[in-house]
Every structure is written in C-alpha cells, then in structure tokens.
Structure 1
C-alpha cells in the first residue's frame, strides 16, 4: 500500500490543484482543473490525465471557476480522504449551477465503489473514470456533453500508460515521479487497492528508461520510481533476451547519469532482496532511503492483516538493510486498533518501533474500508477512543526517534540537491539529503540554481528539518 499522508517533500500534497502547462494566451479554448488526493500514484495518474486532455485541446487552469472540466482524482485508502472529496464535489456542484456547461468528473480509486451513488442518487458528478480507463476520457467527455452520464471503471490486466508522456504537474523542474507498474497482488486484508487498481503488471523497462532520459535532458535531477510494490517489478525484454527485475531496473535508471538521483516507493518487506540492497550500495546516485511498511508489530495481527511475514522476519530484514547499507534512512507505516488488537498487540508494535527507530513514520488508526477482506471477515471491534489513544502513544515515541535521528546529523556534512526556495524565505534554499531529510540553508553570495548539488554542513536541527550552510559546490 502506497499511502502517503505525512509531511515530506512530495508526499503531502493532498487536495492541491495544479497548473501543468505554460500556456500562451488563447492557446486553448477549453480548460480543465484537477485536484488529486491520497498517494503518489494518484498524483502520477493526474499527470497522465493532463497529457490526454492536452492532446484533446484542453489547457489547464488554477482557477476552478474558469474550468470547463473539473476532475477530482480520488483515494479510498482513508475515510477522511473520501469525506474531503464529497465536500469538494458539493462545492463544485454549486459552482456548476452558475456555469451550466461545466462538467464534473471523478477519477481514481473511489470511482468503482461509489459510481452509482454519486451519479444517480446524489447527482454530484457527470463522469466517472477508473484508474485503468483514462484513455477513454475523450469519448466519455463527448457523452457527458450530450447530457448522458459517462462511466468507465473497467480494470485492465495490461494497461500501464507506458506510451503516454506525462505532463509534469506543479513541477519544480527538479524532481519527478515515474510510474513503473500498476496494481497489486498482495491481498492485505485492510487494503482496497487490489480491488480499485487491479492486479499487478509491470511497465516495459524501455519506456521507463526513455522517460527518465527525457526528464534528465530537460533538467530534472531526481526521479522517484513508483509502484504499489516496486520490488516485485518484473519484465521480460524479448528483443534483447533479458529479464529485468527491480534491481536491474534500478541499475539501468542509475546509469542514465551520475547526476541523476534515484528514489523508489514503496517496498513490501517480503519482496525487497539482497540484490536490490547491493545495487543501492553499488551506485552513489541511488538514494539510501527505504520505505518499508510494517503495519503492526504483533504476529497475530500481521496474520489477520495477511502481511505474509512475522515480526521476527521483519526485524531481520531491517538488520540486513543496516548491514548492507549503513546509515540508510528508514521509514514505515503503522496502523493502530486493527480488528481484535489487544493491549499486548499494541505493546508489541510499540516495542518494534522502539527497536527500529524509524527516521520517518506514517501512523494511522484503523478505519474499515468497504470492499476489503477485513470488512468481510472481521468485526471492527476496537473502540475509536482506544485506537486514537494507541495512535498518540506511537506518535509520541516516533517524535523522540525523529528528533534523535536529526540530532545525529548535526556537525556532519551532506550532499544536498537544491529543489526550491525555502517556504519561509527567498533568501534560503530548500533541499534534501540522500537519506530524504529536508535541509534549509542560506543562499549567501553563491550563484546557484534549482537542480544544483552542494555540500552543506549541518549546524543545528529541529525535529523535522536540518539547518546548515554551504561549504562546497558540487556540480
């Protein structure tokens, strides 16, 4: 599950609207507006949708009131995201009353489950499109313009959108997502992704490398390879008689240029291999940072979740990562209050976090999602008050670990990729280390640009940010 609801670089952009195109006045007669919610995969999908709409003569706008088309790219992982989407759809319906020709559509993971309710009962949308049906958008828009309700939520066994060049949304011109696979074969009982995004299929490696090369040639200096479970990437290049595993793909991407940083998300603990870890160790430009969701520290709960590993196995994997990649940044997902979770189960999760001391953690209390295996099999029997109390306990523990992690980096020097101006001051730069830690440092007299590399000496820190100064320019 690639659920990103934390406060890191590209991962906390829920509900933002994007203007993907630099447009000339009058270039487009019709315009679209997109808001994306949830995981990085949804944001990447919105970039594919923007490309499809652009090819049909639609330009983008930051102002929903100017749009002829409004799309919400939705998430079903958390109940809160669904509530937010419903609220926004109601607001857009009011907007449509003032502009009758406007069309409102829902994309993504909520589409299949709520299509009938949103189209017929609540009449909130005109178009509903699932994650594998974006190519049908032009015909669906045509149907909706005649007053029909347009729907396509069919899942595919082979769609990867590998031939569509995404339009980079709200791009800083430095960092980009590159989708390498779609769907998921891991039937975790709490997760709806296999039912909303279908079965796992890998995009062909040739198109991935081509996209990465084009990004680098355009000035991008970091790519994040995306998939629900990137470690299970598998593609056969019949032309060259080569089997491309995720480790091999990582190597191919890293070889595009030593100036290109490579990240990836997400790894399922059962699939990340020594081959992947050794490839990371071999190439300096593959970032030493792994998101390794654990979800629970209790073997009993892990079995109910259908996570297919034990607490002991997971700890051994963490130990192996730290053996092969000393100092590697590590983050996780943790759920409190899953069905039947006891205080003893909770203490085991707490103890596991105490052992692993994650640099970053995405922590939630369990909310039952319709259509999941857990909803069908188990009673959601842990009181919400208990779920929230347990969540606060692990959050408090993680804050200690996060601060300690930051403090260990004070008085050290790190290579930092400049990504943007600091949000607080145009006199400071914002960047990240190899280990995915945010660094803020003054521009001083240096003539630098986004996409440049610098060595930064860390003078101090907060619980979430390193503060330093430039000591060397590395480009």
Structure 2
C-alpha cells in the first residue's frame, strides 16, 4: 500500500518487543518473546497473545536469546514494514542454529498473504498465525513440537477476544490500549487491511467498559479505544434491548472516572458524527484530538482510492469539528503519488492541507500492495522520483503547519498527564495535552509523579515538542 519517507514520532508504530512487567513474580518452564510492528492494533493484539501464552505455561522474557518461542507480530501496510520483518526473521534463524528446538512464528497481517513463502520457500518460520486465530496458538505450538509446520490464518466474522484480559507487558504504567472492534468494511483501493483482518465486528460494550475500568483501577490514566474505523462501532445489547453506538460507548467509558482520559483511533471522515463530537465536548476527560485521514485532496484521486467522500465533504467535516470543539487537535494520513496522480492533483492535496491546518500528519508515498483493488485495477504509473519529490513537498508544508500550530500554543496553559521522565533529562517530566501534543517541563521543587495531572504553561517549542513550566498543581 504505502512507503514511508517521513512521519511524526509515534511509538505505537515502531517495532518493539514485549518485556516482563516489574511486578511479575511467577516462574515459568518455557518462555516467549514478541516483537510487534505496525499500528497500535498490532500492539494490542500482542497483549492478547501474551495472555493466551501465559495461561498455557509460557512466561515473557526481555530478549530473543532467552526464549523458547519467538513471535513477530507483522504489518503488511507498507513494503518497508515487510522488509523489516523479513530481516528480523533471518536474524532469528541464526538463533536456531545454536538452539535447534527454538520455535519461530509469524503473527498478524503478513500471515495469510505470505504463509507459504515464509514456511516452505524461505523456511524462515515454524508457525504462521492470522489475526483471528490466536486462540489456536497452544495447539499450533504442540504441532511444531511434534516436528510439524503449523498454520492457521482463517478469518472470522465473530472473533473479538472480548473474554481475554490482555497482559500489559510493555505499559508505561499510565497509558493503555483497549480494542473495541476488529476488521474493516471500507474497501479503500490501496489498503490491504480488509483482506488481512476481515470484516468489521464490534466487541461487547460491557466487556470494553469492564476492561477499561480494570485498567483504571490498576493505575492507568490514559486509554485509547482502538479500531480500524471506530466511528462504525455498533453493538446491540440484548439485555438492555438497545443498540450502542460509538458515541454511547465513549460516554460509558468516560463515565468510569473524571481522572481517566479517553482517546480513540482511527476515525473515517464519512462516519464521524455530530453526536460523537457533542459527547467529546460534554466530557472534559475525552481528549480533544481526532485523527482524520484525508489521503488525497483531489476528488478524482479520492474516487480511485474508493474513499467515498469528496474534498468538499471532508472540509465541511473539519469545519464542523472546529465549530463544536474549538481548539481540537487534528492530524491526518496523506499519500503522495497514487496511481495517475498529476501535478495539479498533488497541488489539490497541498491546498487541502493548508485549509485543514493539521497539527501533524503521517505522510507516505504510494507503493503497490499485492492483492489490493488498486493493484488489480490501476497501473502504478507515477515515477518513484516524482513520488519522493511530492512527498517532500508535503513533509515541508506539514513542517510549516506544525510550527504555526505550536506558535499558537505559546502562552497557553494545558492540563498535562505525566507519563514519565523526559528522554533527555531525569530532571524533566514529559506528558501529553488533551490535544495529543508532547509537553516537556522541569521537575523543579514540585513533588510530582507519573500519573499526576498538572497545569503547564507553554513557553517555547522544538520541532516536535512543546516546552513549558508548571503553573498550577491540581489537588
């Protein structure tokens, strides 16, 4: 689908390994190690996998050299992501030379599409498990132990893992993900997700609220509700005999405690409603930030992408967000060089960025993903050099817009949830505002800790970070 040149810092999209939590005391005969790549949904899935494995006698370890089972939770959304995973699998194969009984497996979005290649042709893995088949992991591990290759990539119309309590092995102790739905019904022509994750199905709302409440009781203060398109969440509660929309679910989770911040990702422009915006406005603890992918600012390209909205519709939605939620942070996804894109089409995208005034964006140039509608229907005819040049223009413009956004923050006071110490100094705290901007400020004499809320005045900024000072400490 996409190839990335530049993006804002986003830890949830980096390859990252699970490590044992500080409070883990139980001893295990066998151990697993997971690396996750791609979107936040993959990281949430890895927490489900960890729970399943720990129930069957596997414990987490900090490094692959300590493991009996290595799992890589993969992403197919960009060619670069697949290349990174292949490189890691090749490195793990070297571990097997020293430890022949070591099992290596691939989870997630690369599983179905590349199962034969990974298992048989390249012989990089012993087991392949798709996003809807994680419950079968214990049985698949037994097959591998018996000398067989094991695979289950069947997609499901029902599986949501709603009864499994994820194990938070990589938590900072303040933030957590809660998956509210799986799959996607939007057949965007560039996207592989509907083919790797299946059709939309929503979790039981009561299980979502219960998981969120437990996280809050465990000390988590910032929850992100996850879905490929959260705005299309729909669950019919038979006991209450009523349907629960995403707006209703937001209200339910926000009602757990005013000290619990609630975020969500991702929204589709065609589906986000005034009701959702009004619920956000009515609840101070629902963060005032919306990720609203545009992909392209040209109507012809949007139609080829099967995005089902026009630039005019999108701009009206942005204006409505600004009207109901003044000061709301808005970010976007943007693709440069989609099939048949002309210079004028590209200029439409730049103009749309100027009109939308994004605080930050995830910016990519198009690379064809096998199996997508675009791969079957359209020629990938924009030269790579042109794609990269257009992408650089998008990146440069977003840099300008981000600077202007940060300038508007100067002198403002924001409530910041402290997530930990600054990466650069143990004499500084870092946290995020409701608008999802990172703010760093000195500890000074204040007796603060992770998970505290504090008022911070923005005094200056760097390219990606606001800098400030404490104004008022909340009781």
TM-score normalised by length of structure 2:
0.98
Give matches, 1:85-164, under 5 Å.
85-164=85-164
Alpha-carbon distance in 2 for matches of 1:269, 1:465: 27
Report if aligned partners of 2:19, 2:169 keep a CA contact under 8 Å in 1: yes
Report if aligned partners of 1:126, 1:144 keep a CA contact under 8 Å in 2: yes
Q: Is 2:4 aligned against 1:11?
A: no
Question: How far off is 1:474 after superposition?
Answer: 1.6
Partner residue, 2:313: 313
Q: Is 2:411 aligned against 1:411?
A: yes
Report if aligned partners of 1:2, 1:39 keep a CA contact under 8 Å in 2: no
**Change beyond 3 A, Cα 1:23–1:97:** farther
Report if aligned partners of 2:233, 2:246 keep a CA contact under 8 Å in 1: yes
Ranked by relative contact order (alpha carbons within 8 Å, sequence separation 6 or more), the top structure is 2
Partner residue, 1:167: 167
Report if aligned partners of 1:21, 1:59 keep a CA contact under 8 Å in 2: no
* Root-mean-square deviation over aligned CA pairs: 1.5
Partner residue, 2:67: 67
Alpha-carbon distance in 2 for matches of 1:281, 1:3: 36
Partner residue, 1:199: 199
**Change beyond 3 A, Cα 1:3–1:267:** farther
Give matches, 1:236-315, under 5 Å.
236-315=236-315
Q: What does the per-residue CA deviation read over 1:413-472, in whole Å, with 9 as the maximum and x for residues that have no partner?
A: 110000011001111001000000000001111111111000001111112111111111
Report if aligned partners of 2:2, 2:368 keep a CA contact under 8 Å in 1: no
Partner residue, 2:56: 56
Alpha-carbon distance in 2 for matches of 1:83, 1:253: 38
Alpha-carbon distance in 2 for matches of 1:23, 1:358: 40
Partner residue, 1:186: 186
Q: What does the per-residue CA deviation read over 1:103-155, in whole Å, with 9 as the maximum and x for residues that have no partner?
A: 00000000000000110001000010000000000000000111100000000
Report if aligned partners of 2:2, 2:369 keep a CA contact under 8 Å in 1: no
TM-score normalised by length of structure 1:
0.98
Secondary structure of 1:11's counterpart equals helix
Moved more, 454-463 or 14-23: 14-23
Question: How far off is 1:8 after superposition?
Answer: 4.0
Partner residue, 1:351: 351
Alpha-carbon distance in 2 for matches of 1:348, 1:399: 18
Aligned length: 474
Partner residue, 2:440: 440
Secondary structure of 2:449's counterpart equals coil
Alpha-carbon distance in 2 for matches of 1:2, 1:150: 30
Report if aligned partners of 1:455, 1:474 keep a CA contact under 8 Å in 2: yes
Alpha-carbon distance in 1 for matches of 2:233, 2:158: 14
Secondary structure of 1:164's counterpart equals coil
Alpha-carbon distance in 2 for matches of 1:339, 1:16: 32
Question: How far off is 1:9 after superposition?
Answer: 5.2
Secondary structure of 1:434's counterpart equals coil
Structure 2 gap segments, 5+ residues each: none
Structure 1 gap segments, 5+ residues each: none
Secondary structure of 2:220's counterpart equals coil
Question: How far off is 1:21 after superposition?
Answer: 3.4
Secondary structure of 2:12's counterpart equals coil
Alpha-carbon distance in 2 for matches of 1:312, 1:327: 21
Alpha-carbon distance in 1 for matches of 2:335, 2:169: 31
Secondary structure of 1:27's counterpart equals coil
Secondary structure of 1:468's counterpart equals strand
Partner residue, 2:328: 328
Runs of 4+ in structure 1 off by over 4 angstroms are 1-5, 23-26
Alpha-carbon distance in 2 for matches of 1:8, 1:28: 36
**Change beyond 3 A, Cα 1:121–1:23:** farther
Report if aligned partners of 1:35, 1:72 keep a CA contact under 8 Å in 2: yes
Q: What does the per-residue CA deviation read over 1:1-22, in whole Å, with 9 as the maximum and x for residues that have no partner?
A: 999984445434x211111434
